[in-house]
Homo-oligomer: A and B are copies of this chain.
């Protein structure tokens, strides 16, 4: 049926077509059924919603991105026909039934996801079946490969390609801003793409965006990396393995992240840039994504094995994640802390140690001996700062970026200790909630600065942290929230620091950087 195209400015995770009830009847579809909408040579498959008044008989409303992807003029006649359910649904049901999926079945599912052919309902069934029944390594490798093939694949002018990833879950983890310049300054190619925050206070891209551009297509990313040896780009704009973003949209409200999907999500983005050597940071501990050492080791083993299947050499570091890395949480605060370290500041030491440990792993994979010492040398010599400024400039920022250029939130509030003693607990999730209440990651200046960390002595009335916000209203929100829970606990009874038992362990086939200091920074 030919219908007049109407743009409806609303977003939904699935492509959605709004039909007048009479036309829907005529076409023979009802809510949640599918129509194919064709315009010139492009076409989309959309889930049907029906209406009596939003669009008139003879019109079809297309929501948000679907309209843009299809590209008709307003009121242009476009063809709308009923279409059958995608084949993927049968394969998803096979996974629901506990079956192993073939390469071809997995590819079909991922292609349908990337083409927006699955509704939220079907996508959720996929994610839930994966969460419940899992995938073996062969399936996971096929999943990764299928995700790679739905997006851009970048070939650089030289090899090998190095890459770095942190699976996240530990706030304040701004080390990418230091790792990438060190590795690039050592002459290795590291075209790093990062994500934005989903549930954290700042993703690496949110931090980098404070002082330079992050939004590049594949060509521009290649150009930046080939020129400078590094990059600090946002993965979303490069269109690497785009099915992943659609899958995350249904994982997020359920708060689930199926093991196989997490593995494929990380590895597909690395495979798409042709990474040969990859270092992965797995923060472990209460309040992170990976609470126990056993789980961390299982992830590490799977990353390494999956890498082997994909022709990628992977090493993992299981790192201490029970308190933030460094002292700053939130885009601008983290940017400032990282740049200060590049400028030669020796504090917070946990950031320096973790960054040099991870960079050192990559240098050793690249054949450079005593990697961590070499990384530290590159950092201390100012070469990392030079490389950082080169990358910032290539991405459109200032070529002489300084930590003092970074604007942090002007509305601040101190949270003071109500007793004296030693800090014995810092709760990651509560700190993130505070930082988000203060406006992070959208308000770049918002966040938290910790003055005290685990094992630090604190006096009654002394500030343990400061909340930063870009507006009084948001600051008030965060203060309000801080009354509900206490992200920093002080135990006055303990008069001595407890002996530290390391949770950072070297595991088989993985390399471990120097453990982050458990006390203070």
Q: B-contacting residues of A (Cβ < 8 Å)?
A: 8-13, 18, 25, 28, 31-33, 49-54, 85, 89, 93, 96-98, 119-122, 124-125, 128-129, 131-133, 249-250, 252-256, 437, 442, 477
Closest B residue by C-beta to A254? B125
B132 and A96 form a contact (CB under 8 A): yes
A256 and B93 form a contact (CB under 8 A): yes
Give CA–CA (A132, B94) in the complex, Å: 11
Give CA–CA (A33, B253) in the complex, Å: 7
Question: Which chain B positions have C-beta within 8 A of A28?
Answer: 437, 477
Given the known inter-chain contacts A9-B52, A25-B442, A254-B93, please indicate yes or no for A120 contacting B120, CB distance below 8 A.
Answer: yes
B9 and A250 form a contact (CB under 8 A): no
Give CA–CA (A54, B49) in the complex, Å: 16
Question: Which chain B positions have C-beta within 8 A of A50?
Answer: 10-11
Give CA–CA (A437, B27) in the complex, Å: 11
Question: Which chain B positions have C-beta within 8 A of A128?
Answer: 96, 124-125, 128-129, 132
Give CA–CA (A50, B13) in the complex, Å: 11
Question: Which chain B positions have C-beta within 8 A of A12?
Answer: 31, 49
Question: Which chain B positions have C-beta within 8 A of A442?
Answer: 25
Task: Select one of B52, B133, B253 contacting A132, CB under 8 A.
Answer: B133
Task: Select one of B10, B32, B53, B131 contacting A252, CB under 8 A.
Answer: B32
A13 and B32 form a contact (CB under 8 A): yes
> How many copies of this chain sit in the oligomeric assembly?
2
Task: Select one of B49, B122, B133 contacting A253, CB under 8 A.
Answer: B122
Q: From residue A92, how far is it (CB to closest CB) to chain B in Å?
A: 8
Question: Which chain B positions have C-beta within 8 A of A256?
Answer: 93, 96
Task: Select one of B52, B97, B253 contacting A119, CB under 8 A.
Answer: B253
A32 and B121 form a contact (CB under 8 A): no
Give CA–CA (A31, B245) in the complex, Å: 14
Give CA–CA (A133, B93) in the complex, Å: 13
Give CA–CA (A32, B11) in the complex, Å: 10
Question: Which chain B positions have C-beta within 8 A of A255?
Answer: 85, 89, 93
* A to B CB contacts below 8 Å, 28 in the list: A9-B52, A10-B18, A10-B49, A10-B54, A11-B31, A12-B49, A13-B31, A25-B442, A31-B249, A32-B249, A32-B253, A85-B253, A89-B255, A93-B254, A93-B255, A96-B128, A96-B131, A96-B256, A97-B132, A119-B253, A120-B120, A121-B121, A121-B250, A124-B124, A124-B128, A125-B128, A129-B132, A132-B132
B54 and A121 form a contact (CB under 8 A): no
Top 9 A-B pairs, shortest CB-CB distance: A124-B124, A9-B53, A128-B128, A121-B124, A10-B51, A32-B253, A125-B128, A120-B120, A9-B51
Question: Which chain B positions have C-beta within 8 A of A124?
Answer: 120-121, 124-125, 128
Question: Which chain B positions have C-beta within 8 A of A250?
Answer: 121
Give CA–CA (A254, B85) in the complex, Å: 9
Question: Which chain B positions have C-beta within 8 A of A13?
Answer: 31-32
Closest B residue by C-beta to A50? B11
Question: Which chain B positions have C-beta within 8 A of A53?
Answer: 9
Given A10-B18, A10-B51, A132-B132, 4 more pairs with CB closer than 8 A = A28-B477, A85-B255, A120-B120, A122-B253
Closest B residue by C-beta to A34? B253
Question: Which chain B positions have C-beta within 8 A of A9?
Answer: 51-54
Give CA–CA (A132, B130) in the complex, Å: 11
Give CA–CA (A9, B28) in the complex, Å: 20
Q: From residue A264, how far is it (CB to closest CB) to chain B in Å?
A: 19
Give CA–CA (A496, B250) in the complex, Å: 58
Give CA–CA (A54, B13) in the complex, Å: 17
Q: From residue A480, how far is it (CB to closest CB) to chain B in Å?
A: 12
Q: From residue A517, how far is it (CB to closest CB) to chain B in Å?
A: 35
Task: Select one of B33, B49, B120, B477 contacting A11, CB under 8 A.
Answer: B49
Q: From residue A441, how far is it (CB to closest CB) to chain B in Å?
A: 12
Q: From residue A226, how far is it (CB to closest CB) to chain B in Å?
A: 36
